[in-house]
Structure 1
C-alpha cells in the first residue's frame, strides 16, 4: 500500500526521525518521553533486540501523539507483528518482495531500503514511492543520492536517508526537495540510556529541532 498522505505530511513536518533500538522494555517509554520533551515526535524503533515488539506496543499505548515507525523488518511474519503492535509504518534496510507484499497485505505502510538504481526499480515495481536510502553516507552521501535518483525524478519518489547521518550533515539532506525526512541514530545515545539520563536525550533532541527550524524551510 502507498503511504497515507497524513503520515508523509507528518514526516516532512518532523524532518528528523529518531532511530534507536531498545535493550530493555522498561526503557522504551522513558526514551519516547524524552524525545517528545525535546520536540521530536517521530521515531524508528529498530527490531535488533528481543525487546523490540514489546517496546513498540508500550510506546504506542503510552504516546498516541508519537509517530511510531519500526525498522529492521526482515520477514513477512515480522511485518504482521509490527502492524498488530500498533506501529504507524515500517521500514527495512533492503527490498525483499516477500516482506513488502506482507506489509501491504497487513495494511502497514512500508518503506523498503534501497542503495542502487536496481533496488529502486524493484521497489517501484512493488508499488513503493517512499523509500529508505541506506546506508546513506557509506554509499556516497547526498551527491550519490542526487545522481542515483535523477533518472526517476519524474516519478516523484521521496527518500528517507539513514546511515552515517549526524547533526553536522543532516541539513544537506533536509534541503533536498525529494528528501522527506532523515533518520538520526545519534540522538538516543546508548550511554545516556544506560545511565537513564533522560534529560540528556531531551537536550540532544531539542538541539536537532532548533537547527532544523533555523536552517530548513519545510
Structure 2
C-alpha cells in the first residue's frame, strides 16, 4: 500500500517506521500543510494525517477532492468535522477520525462507558478527568480526554458538558498538564467522602498510536464512507 504521511513530526516518523515494517511504502511526507504538494490518487492509496490543528482540515479536504481516503489523528480542529464528512461523502471516498488510535485506549473507552453506566446512580460520587501529555502537544484538553468526557455525559442526564480546569456542578472538569516526554496519561476519577475509584491509561510510547493508525489505513483501503476505530477493531476480532 502506498501511504502519504501528512505531518512528519515525531508521530509521523513513528508511523513511517511501523508502516514500512508492515510492508507499505511511504510515497509522500509533508511537514504540516499539504497546500504546495501535488496529490495523485494513482500514486497514493491512503493518507495518514497527524499534522497540526490549523492544517488538518485543509489536508483532509484536499485529499478527499483527489479521491484519497484519509486516516486522521490530529485533534483541535473538530469544529470542521461535519464539513469534512460532507466533502468525503460528496467525493465518494473514505474517512476515519479518532482522538486516539491506540488499541489499549479504545479498550479504555469501553471501560469508561461501562463504569459511567454503573456510577450514574451514585450521586455521592463526583467525576473528573485528568490528562497529561508532552509539552509539544498544542491543544488542551486532549481529544482523548474530550472523548472520555462525552462518553460520561451520555450516561449522566444531569451533565450538560465539560470545562477545562474549572466546571459548574452540571459539567465535568478536565485538568490538562504538559510535562516533557510524556506520551499520554488519562485518568478518570470518581470521588466521594468515603473512597475514590480510578481508571487509568498510561501510554509508554507513540508506537501504540502509530500501529493503530496504520492498521486503520489498511482497513480503509478500497472502502467508501465514514468509519470509526470501533469498525476497525470489529474487523480484527470478528
Regarding TM over 0.5, the answer is no
Larger strand proportion, structure 1 or 2? 2
Larger helix proportion, structure 1 or 2? 1
TM range (shorter): 0.3 to 0.5
Structure (1 or 2) with the larger CA radius of gyration: 2
Q: TM-score of the superposition, structure 1-length normalised?
A: 0.35
